[in-house]
Chains A and B, each alone.
Chain A
Amino acid sequence: MARKNVHSPVFRGLSVVLSILFMWGFGLSLLLVFMNISIGFADNDEDFRQAFLEQTFRKESADLESYIGAYLQKDHDDSDQYLISMQKQYAPDNTNFRFAVMDPEGNLLMSNDPDYSDKTPMMVSNISRLPVLLDSQQYPVQKSFENPISAYSEIINGDIPHLLDHPEEFDVWYFTDDDVQNAHKNGLNVRVYSEPVSDYEFFKTEEEAEAFDYSTKYSDLAEWEILAANASSPALNQLPETGQTGVPAETVKRSDADKVVVFVQGYKSVEQLHVTLEEYYDRKVVGEPIVAADAELENKLMNSLDITIRGRRNTYLESRLLIYLPTQLEVQDSIRANYTVYHSLFRHGELSVIIMFVCLILTVISCIVMCTAVDPADKNGRNRVSRVHSIFYELFWLLPVALLVLSALTIDLLYYQDCSYRMIVIFCAGMVLTIAASCVLWLYTTAIRAKMGTFWSSFGTYRFFRFVLSLFSNAPGSTFATIAFAIILFVLNGVVVPSMTHSGLGRTDKIIMFLILVLDLLGLLFLTYCIYAYFELHKLVKKMETGDFEPAEHTVPLAGDFGRFDRSLNEITDRVGEIVARQTKAEHLRTELITNVSHDLKTPLTSIVNYVDLLSREPMQTETASEYLEVLQRQAARLKKLTIDLVDASKASTGNLTVELVPTDIRVLLSQLAGEYEEQLSARDLMLMQNLPAESITILADGRQIWRVFDNLLNNACKYALPGTRVYLDVKCDGETVEITMKNISATPLNISADALMERFVRGDASRHTEGSGLGLSIAKDLTALQNGVLDLKTDGDLFKAILRFPVYHVPEEPAEEAAEPETPPAE
C-alpha cells in the first residue's frame, strides 16, 4: 500500500512542489543570513542606519565627492548657485538626504541642512577627506646666474632633471615683469620657467603640517636645496609672511621649499643681435672667435643677470564631507521607503539563521522523498519517461548557474539604476524561486537518469565523444596514429612555439624550434602523400566506374593502409574483370548456341514448309482437312519468322553483330521508308504523315541495321494501328541530337506499359494470336543502341509513341585546297 503511494503521481507532484518551496525558503533565508553577516548581526537602530547609509550612498559618495571637491576649490564663480544646482541634480527627491562640509578647523563650509550643528542628531554615514585649498600664492625666488650661458647650461643640461621628467606636475612659473624689463634693457630676453610639485599633502592640524618631513617624501628636494644654497639664493630666506588663512608662515615656508625653478631660455631681441644665445654658447665651446659686436654683448650679459623668479604654490588642508540622514526620516520619500524595507529585513538576524537551518533540513528531506518517488516506468513496466529527460544533461547543470549569474547581474543593475528596495526584494524572491525550481528540476532529472541508468550517457559531452569514437570505431590503427600526430603538431605549434617566442629564444630553444620545424615539414610531406594517395585511389575507382577493370600503376607506391586499400581495389577489379570476361564468353556461347540451334531448326522447318505446301496441292477429302492444313500453313510461316528473329534478337542483344557506321541521311532514309511502306500502309487504310526539317540531317548508322529498326517500327504500326488513322513520323533536330518520333493510334487498348512492350515476346495486345514473333521492338531497341542511339517507347491512352534519338554527325569540312600558298615564287 505504501509502495503504491510512493509511486502515485499526486504524491510525486506534491514532493516536487514541497521541494521547490522549501528550497525557496532556504535560499531566501540564506540570503538574509549573508546580509546579516555583512552588517555583523547588528541589533540596534544605529547600526542598521549606518549599514543602510553605507549601502545607500556607496554608489553616490564618489559623485558627491567630486561635486563638493569642485565646489570647495572655488572653481565656480557663484558657489551658492552651484550648490543649489548640485542638490537639485544630485538628490531631487531624496529630501531626507543631508550632507555637510567642514574645514579642518571644524567650521561649517556648507550644508544642505539649514539646521545643521554639531548637536544635530544624525546617522553619521561617511566622512570623506577632501583637499581644501588653503593657500595659493606667488612666491618670488631670486637666483643669480653668472651669465646667460651658465644659466642655460645649468638648466638645459639637466642639472635639475626632475622637472624635465615630470613637467606635467608643475605649474608654470614666470619671471616678474621687472626681471624681463631688466633683461630687456641689456639687450636680452630671458625667461625662466619654474614649476613646483602640485602633489599635495593633507594635514589635519598645523602641528601635523609642521612635523611633516619633506625630504623623505621628495628625495629630489635635498638636491634642490643644495642647488639653491650653492647659488646662494636669498629666495628661501626672503619668503614673505603668509597667514591669509591662518596657516603659520613656517608651514608654508617648509612646504614651499620643494621644487622650484628650472627652465631658463635666453634669447636676443631680433633687432639688436643676430645670434642666439644657443649659437653663442656653441661658439664659445668650439673656440671660435666672437665678433666685435658679440663681444660687447657678452660684456653686457656678464653683469646683468640677477633674476628674481616668482612662483606659485598651493597648500591644501583636509576638510571633511559628512553624509548623513536625520534620525527621524520625516519626509515620505524613496529613502524612507527603502529604509523601511531594509530595517524590516535585518530586524531578525538570528531568526533568519534558524529559518535557514529548518528550511535546509526540510529541503533535504523533501528532495530525498522526491528522488525515491521518481519512477521512470509505469505499472506495466512500459517506459513513459518524458523527452525532457533525454535532453543533454549539461543543460540542467547549467540552468541554475546561469540563472544565478543572471540574477546577480540584474540585481546589481537594478541597484545602480536607483530601483526601490521593495522592487529589488520582490525580484530577488522571484529569482530565488526560479533558481530553486531549476535546482529541483536538476535533481528530478538526475534521479530519473540514475534510475534509468542513463546518467552518464545523457551527458551531451559523453554522446559527442562516443559519436566521435564511433566515427573511427572500425578505423585502422594508422588513423589514430595520424590523429595523434596532428594533435602533437597542433600542441607544438599552437602552444609550445608561442610560449617560447614569448620569452625569447635561447640556444636549446632554437634547437627545439628547429626540431619542431622538421616535424612540421614531415607533417606537410605526410599530408601531401595522403592527398596523392587519395587521388590515386579516386582515379582507380573512377576508372572502374567507366568499366575499365585493369589494375592501375602508381608513380609512387602506396604504403600502409593506402596500400591495403589499393590492393583491395585491385582485387575487386580482378574479380570483376574475371566475371565480365566469363559473362562475355557465356553470352558469346549463348548466341552461338542459339544460332546453331536455329540452323538445325531450319532444315526440318524447310521440309515442313515444303510438304505443307505440297499437301495443299493435293485434293482434300473433307472441308475440315483443308481447314487443318490452313492452320499448319499459318503456323509454319510463323515458326519460320520466329526462327529468323530469334537469331537476330540474340545477336542484337549481345552486340554480336558487326555494324559499319557510315554517314546516313535521315531525310533520304525516311523517304525510302515511306516508299517501301506506302502500299502496306494504304492496304491497312493508314496514312503516313511526315514532318521533316528543311535541311538534311546526317547521322552515323549502319544502313541495313537502321532499316531494320524502322522496318520493325513501321511493321508494328501496320500490324497494330487502328485502320483509317494517321501514322506520324516527326523529325526534330537541335543541332546535336536528332529525334525521330513515330506516333500511331493503337487498334486495341494498350493495356501494357512501355517497358513491357520492349520486353521480348510481348506484344501490345498481350495475347499472341497475330503474326509476328514479338521480338521486333526488342530487336529494334538493341540495334538502335548498337548505333549509339536510344529508342524510347511511350504509351498514352491509345497513342503509341516510339522516339529514336541519334547524335548528329557533322560532316567534316573538306580542307580548302591550296589554302597555303608556297612562300617561294615558282621558278620562271
Chain B
Amino acid sequence: METILICDDERDIVSALNIYLRAEGWKTVCAYSGKEALEIAATQNIQLILMDIMMPEMDGITAMTEIRKTSNVPVILLTAKSEDSDKILGLNVGADDYITKPFSPAEVVARVRSQLRRYLRLGAAEADDPNVLTVGSIALDMKARSATLDGVPVPLTPIEYEILSLLMHNAGTVFPPRDIYQAVWKANPIGSENTVAVHIRHLREKLEINPQEPRHIKVVWGQGYKLEKP
C-alpha cells in the first residue's frame, strides 16, 4: 500500500484529492504548508508527494528542494500558474511532473499512478534486455514489436509502432512529417502528409495522460515531431 503526501494550503482541495486517491486504494497523508510537508516527509514512509507551489510559510518549490536533499521520492507539483517558466523551474528543481489548476480528477489519478509505477518499478529494476529500448517511461520491445508505458502494455498498430520506434531511436530529434513518412512507409508522401499527423495523434492519445498537453511525444509546430528526452 503506497502512501501519498498531499500538501496544499487550501483544505478543500486537499480533502477532494484525498477522496480521489483513497478511492483508488492509496493511503494518504495530508499537510497544509511546506513545513508540515517537510516534517511528514522526514518521519513517514512516503512514496509520492503532491504539492502546491503557492503556500504560506514555505512554498512548494522550497519544500521540494529540501526534500530532494534527502530523498528522491516522486514529487508532482500542483500549480495555478500556467506560465511555461514556472513549469520549467519546477521540473529543473527536481519535480517529476506537474499538474496545472484547475485540474481534472482523472488526470491527477493518472499522473499519480504513472509516477508511482515508475518509482516502484525503478526500485525493482528489470535486467537490461538488449531488445528493449527505454526512453523515459516508454519501453519499446523490438523483438515483440510492442511498447509499454510505465510497464503497462500499450496496444499499437504496426504503423504506430514504426513511428514510435523511429522517434525513440532518435529521441530529442525533430522529424518533419515527410521524413517520418519516408522512413515508415518507404515511399514519398505525395499529398498524404496529413496521414502522419493523424497517426501521431493516435499515438499521443495512447501514450499521453492528457493528449492536449503531451509530455512524451511533442509537436514542434511547423517543423515536425519529436520524442522528449527524459
A binding-site residues for B, Cβ under 8 Å: 599-600, 602-603, 605-611, 613-614, 640, 643-644, 647, 662, 664-669, 671-676, 678-679, 690, 701, 703-704, 706-707
Contact = CB atoms under 8 A, between A and B. Distances in A.
12 contacts: A602-B102, A606-B13, A606-B80, A607-B16, A609-B103, A613-B105, A614-B16, A614-B20, A675-B199, A676-B197, A690-B194, A707-B221
B13 A665 contact: no
B101 A603 contact: yes
A676 B16 CA distance: 33
B43 interface: no
Top 10 nearest A-B pairs (CB, nearest first) are A675-B197, A664-B222, A703-B221, A671-B193, A669-B222, A610-B16, A606-B102, A707-B221, A602-B80, A674-B194
Contacts of B197: 671-676, 678
Contact of A605 (B17, B102, B178): B102
Contact of B221 (A600, A644, A704): A704
B152 interface: no
B13 A668 contact: no
B113 interface: no
B221 A664 contact: yes
Contact of B196 (A606, A607, A675, A703): A675
B76 to A, nearest CB: 14
A606 B54 CA distance: 14
Nearest to A673: B197
B165 to A, nearest CB: 19
Nearest to B99: A606
Nearest to B222: A664
Given A602-B80, A672-B221, A678-B198, A610 B101 contact: no
B80 A668 contact: no
A678 B221 contact: no
B201 interface: yes
Nearest to B195: A675
Interface string B1-30: 000000000101100110110000000000
A510 to B, nearest CB: 82
A614 B16 CA distance: 8
Contacts of B102: 602, 605-606, 608-609, 640, 643
B101 A668 contact: no
B223 A599 contact: no
B219 interface: yes
Contacts of A600: 80
B104 A666 contact: no
B10 A603 contact: yes
Contacts of A671: 177, 193-194, 196-197
Contacts of B103: 606, 609
B220 interface: yes
Given A605-B101, A610-B16, 14 more contacts: A603-B10, A606-B80, A608-B102, A609-B102, A609-B103, A613-B104, A614-B20, A640-B102, A665-B222, A675-B199, A676-B197, A679-B201, A703-B223, A706-B222
* Most chain A beta-carbon contacts within 10 A, residue among B10, B178, B221: B221
A373 B7 CA distance: 107
Interface string B155-196: 000000000000000000000111000000000000001111
B194 A669 contact: no
Contacts of A614: 16, 19-20, 105
B223 A664 contact: yes
Contacts of B217: none
B44 interface: no
B201 A675 contact: yes
B177 A672 contact: yes
Contacts of A605: 101-102
B221 A599 contact: no
A678 B194 contact: yes
B70 interface: no
B219 A707 contact: yes
B94 interface: no
A690 B223 CA distance: 18
B82 interface: yes
A675 B194 contact: yes
B200 interface: yes
Chain A interface, DSSP helix/strand/loop, else mixed: helix
Interface string B209-221: 0000000000111
B16 A672 contact: no
Contacts of B199: 675
Nearest to A703: B221
Interface of B: 10, 12-13, 16-17, 19-20, 54, 80-82, 101-105, 176-178, 193-201, 219-224
A662 B224 CA distance: 13
A668 B176 contact: yes
B98 to A, nearest CB: 14
Tell which of A602, A671, A673, A678 has the most Cβ of chain B within 10 Å.
A671
A672 B219 contact: yes
B77 to A, nearest CB: 14
A675 B16 contact: no
A31 B178 CA distance: 109
A186 B196 CA distance: 135
A602 B193 contact: no
Task: Give the most central of A666, A676, A704, A707: most B CB within 10 Å.
Answer: A676
A610 B82 contact: no
Contacts of B10: 603, 606-607
Contacts of A607: 10, 12-13, 16
A701 B222 contact: yes
Given A602-B101, A664-B221, A675-B201, A647 B82 contact: yes
A667 B194 CA distance: 10
Given A602-B101, A606-B101, A611 B16 contact: yes
A599 B80 contact: yes
Contacts of B13: 603, 606-607, 610
A602 B99 CA distance: 13
A690 B101 CA distance: 37
Contacts of B193: 667-668, 671
A614 B19 CA distance: 8
Contacts of A678: 194, 197-198, 201
A761 B16 CA distance: 33
Contacts of A662: 223
Contact of A599 (B81, B195, B198, B201): B81
A599 B10 CA distance: 13
A731 to B, nearest CB: 13
Nearest to A640: B102
Contacts of B222: 664-666, 668-669, 672, 701, 703, 706
A707 B221 CA distance: 6
Contacts of A613: 104-105
B53 to A, nearest CB: 10
Contacts of A673: 197
A611 B103 CA distance: 12
Contacts of B201: 675-676, 678-679
Contacts of B16: 607, 610-611, 614
A667 B198 CA distance: 15
Contact of A610 (B105, B196, B219): B105
B13 to A, nearest CB: 6
Nearest to B17: A610
A1 to B, nearest CB: 97
Nearest to B205: A679
A668 B54 CA distance: 39
B193 to A, nearest CB: 4
A603 B102 CA distance: 7
Contacts of A609: 102-104
Contacts of A672: 177, 197, 219, 221-222
A706 B221 contact: yes
A634 to B, nearest CB: 14
Q: Which one of A602, A605, A644, A675 has the greatest number of beta carbons of chain B within 10 Å?
A: A675
B73 to A, nearest CB: 24
A609 B102 CA distance: 7
Contacts of A606: 10, 13, 80, 101-103
